[in-house]
Structure 1
Amino acid sequence: MKKPPIIWLTTLLLSLTFLGALVLVPWRGFTHGFDGIEWLAFVIFTYASGLSITAGYHRLWSHKSYKAQPVIRFLYALGGALALQNSALHWCSDHRVHHKHVDNNEKDPYSAKRGFWYSHIGWMLREYHASTYSDYNNVRDLQNDRIVMWQHKHYLALVIVMNIGLPALLGWLNGDILSMLLMAGLLRLVVVHHCTFFINSLAHIWGKQPYTDKNSARDSGFLALLTYGEGYHNFHHVFENDYRNGTKWWHYDPTKWLIKLMSLLHLTSDLRKVPQQRIEIARLKMQLSRAQDQVTQLPNCDEIIKKFQADYELMKNKLLEYYQAQKRVLEAKRKQLAVQNLQQHVQLLRKQFVEQQRHWTDLTAAYALKGAG
């Protein structure tokens, strides 16, 4: 089968910037050195461009997981041009296709089923999906956003201003244009490129699948460190409209923290969160599926699977009772009613659920050992 034509502009851009960062930055560092201002600019520009992709292109515009004031959307548009990953309109169009057809080699623009290289960078080097460069029917909502369309219309000029003009200006003010161009411009661009590209590649290859195995997306706390919190990708592909990727307080998700902080400053609003019981049920369902798979080789597997199913239903019901009781406590507080008895009931239900969960864990672990043996 004949390969699609090479997209030379993209291929040269990604190749030359990578080689430049690999050669020119160490050369400048050894022969001249970089000062604190240049390193600070590198860090600030790295987060500004990366978060514009994750908080702006991804969670705001692609998934509409929250709303943002025009000034924030404008900053995202500039940061997106700084990240040099195409206009928001085009990026979001590709991404929505990805979610709709995830892992479909013919339709998913960066299907991980075609390997790490393809999903990381290869999909951009040839005209595999040329039609997406003109078909924006799946982002008609974004075509009503003046800032998105302004950025799309002036994208090339914005790229030049943000990636060359702005670092050069800062370098002139700091007394060293070349060093600033190499740090805040070139090295920063390559780092952001490959860290965000990991979301399409490694986040579909490496990690755990606590919520679903129906697609290749995976959760990895380590990968979240490299991708501005996007490493909790298995969660995201199940609950794509949640403004969070990392749901626990200890999950590293600076994108989530930024969105939440801006909501406290009234710069963002309508932050969408999946009810916790839906998240827990998805996790339990995945545990049930894995437990059933582990005992299929045992002679009495049908009876064991029925027992798993019964225990799963009991645990799910306990979980729903607990969250419904929590909801009643919150409603009572809003109405300024006495909640002591309700809170005691919630604690009792929580204790019952934890005990049932412990029993479930012991049960599935015991049968998993038998299945493995």
Structure 2
Amino acid sequence: MQTNTQASAPKKAPLIWLNVLVFSITFAVAAIGVPLYALTIGISAGVWWAALGLFIYSGLSITAGYHRLWSHRTYDAHWTVRLIFALGGALALQNSALHWSSDHREHHKHVDHDDNDPYSASRGFWYSHIGWMLREYQPDKYYDYNNVKDMQRDKIVMWQHKHYLALTLLMNIGVPILIGVLTGQIIASLLVAGFLRLVVNHHTTFFINSLAHIWGKRPFTERNSARDNGVLAFFTFGEGYHNFHHIFSGDYRNGIRWYQYDPTKWLIRGMSYVGLANNLKRASDYQIEKARMDVMWSRLQERRQTTAEWMQHEYDALMEKTKAYYMSRKKLLDAKTQEIKDQVSHSALVEQYRDMKRSFRVERRRWKRMVRAAL
């Protein structure tokens, strides 16, 4: 009887063809179309500056809006600010604020757990960066919005969610066309302010899900893979201080030091000065310092354990040397007193004894230096 190996093999999750096409087409146009157009026809400085402005606008709409305002409720914002962020989120083309926040709250709740974290870094760079959006890995898990009931009371959030497709078309096609009309370069604007800007927005945001869980330091917690990385913070409007964020997600800041690059924090604080944001939440300095000290203490304990195991090994080796030395000395003394020379000559015993003595003294000095250094 033959077994059907194909039937027992795990099936791949079905592709989400819309996402596959969006990511593939936008990347191809940005990587091939933009350079070709720039070399053959040329792109004006006005188009590039407009694209940069849209990149900043959509990026901050994700970090200050989707992430710190709606996902984590780290502050409250005026309805005009929420409307601006809702439009900027549509420009970023990363799903509605409701859907984005639902996924993100699941990520924080189950970080690094393959079965529940929608973009678990433990499944590899590609999966956490973009792969999780290309296949229907968990079709029923993140679409009921039970974990974003608070957001459903926000009329602007629900308006954006209801009209998301129309808003994305308006922001990603209509706005670049408008810029093209103003600059006299409609095609160039669609290519640069539309496609290229969108691809850069996507992947800089995606790096927080992938690279920020691989590259950097963990000064505040080692219970998950999130890391602090100043380089990533520069490209992600301050989101690169990801280790801090994963233990203090209710803090409106990610970079807590004045010198840490976190323009999202500066924007939120600036809005609070003019009454557009309020109720800014911060973790207590004591809790932050305690988290830092706990990590240091944990590393010290781990190092002590490693050092103790190493010293135990060295101690056992020293005891072997000690035993061999004293047995050699006893054997030599016995040979002298009893004149036992039937198996080994007296001179050979003397030479063996001297070798063991030198080896023992070297090992004992090394042991003493090692103990002094450890204490």
Query: What's the TM-score, normalizing by structure 1?
Result: 0.80
Between structure 1 and structure 2, the one with the greater Rg is 2
Q: Give the Cα separation in 2 of the matches to 1:273 and 1:233.
A: 16
Letter in 2 for 1:231: G
Alignment equivalent of 2:197, drawn from 163, 180, 188: 188
Deviations 1:248-293 (A, max 9, x none): 0110111111111111111000100111121111101101111111
- The residue number in structure 1 matching 2:212 is 203
2:172 corresponds in structure 1 to 163
2:338 maps to none
Letter in 2 for 1:85: Q
Describe the superposition over 1:196-239 as per-residue Cα deviations: whole angstroms up to 9, x where unpaired: 00010001111000011100100001110111100000000000
Match of 1:130 in 2: 139
Cα distance, 1:141 vs. partner? 0.5
Structure 2 partner of 1:111: 120
What's the CA shift string for 1:14-62, capped at 9, x where partnerless?
A: 0110111000110111112221211111111001001100100000000
In the other structure, the counterpart of 2:183 is: 174
Q: Which amino acid in structure 2 is aligned with residue 142 of structure 1?
A: M
Question: 1:62 aligns to what?
Answer: 71
Q: Which residue is equivalent to 1:263?
A: 272
- The whole-number CA distance in structure 2 between the counterparts of 1:299 and 1:79 is 56
* Alpha-carbon distance in 2 for matches of 1:72, 1:132: 30
Asked whether the 8 Å contact 2:160–2:167 carries over to 1, the reply is yes
In structure 2, the residue matched to 1:9 is: 18
1:18 correspondence with 2:27: yes
Contact in 2 for aligned 1:295/1:301 (Cα 8 Å): no
Which of 62, 68, 71 aligns to 2:80? It is 71
Tell me how far 1:189 sits from its aligned partner: 0.1
Q: Which amino acid aligns with 1:11?
A: V
Deviation at 1:299, TM superposition (A): 3.9
Matched AA of 1:105? D
**Cα separation, 2, equivalents of 1:141 and 1:221:** 32
| Alignment match, 1:142 | 151
CA RMSD of aligned residues (A): 1.7
- In 2, Cα distance between equivalents of 1:241 and 1:113: 24
The structure 2 residue matched to 1:213, chosen from 203, 207, 222, is 222
In structure 2, C-alpha distance between the alignment counterparts of 1:116 and 1:235, rounded to whole Å: 21
Q: 1:39 aligns with which of 40, 45, 48?
A: 48
Q: Pairwise mapping of residues 224-235 of structure 1 onto structure 2 (< 5 A)?
A: 224-235=233-244
Q: Which runs of 5+ in 1 are unaligned?
A: 303-366
| TM-superposed deviation, 1:300 | 8.9
Supply the AA of the counterpart residue of 2:261.
Answer: Y
Could you say which residue in structure 2 is the equivalent of 1:274? 283
Tell me the amino acid that sits aligned with residue 274 of structure 1. Answer: A
Distance 1:287 1:75, change over 3 A: same
**More divergent stretch after superposition (169-178 vs 84-93):** 169-178
**Count of residues in Structure 1 that have an aligned counterpart in Structure 2:** 306
For the residues of structure 1 that align with 2:42 and 2:269, how far apart are their CA atoms? 38
TM-score using structure 2 length:
0.79
% identical equivalent positions: 59
| Residue equivalent to 1:89 | 98
Q: Deviations over 1:183-205 (max 9, x none)?
A: 11111000000000001000111
Deviation at 1:133, TM superposition (A): 5.2
C-alpha distance in 2, partners of 1:139/1:9? Answer: 25
Asked if residue 222 in structure 1 is aligned to residue 231 in structure 2, the reply is: yes
Is the contact made by 1:295 and 1:370 (CA closer than 8 Å) also made in structure 2?
Answer: no
Give the Cα–Cα distance (whole angstroms) in 1 for the partners of residues 198 and 218 of structure 2.
31
- Given that residues 10 and 124 in structure 1 are in contact (C-alpha distance below 8 angstroms), is that contact kept between their aligned partners in structure 2? yes
Following TM superposition, the consecutive aligned residue runs of length 4 or more in structure 1 with deviations greater than 2 angstroms are 297-302
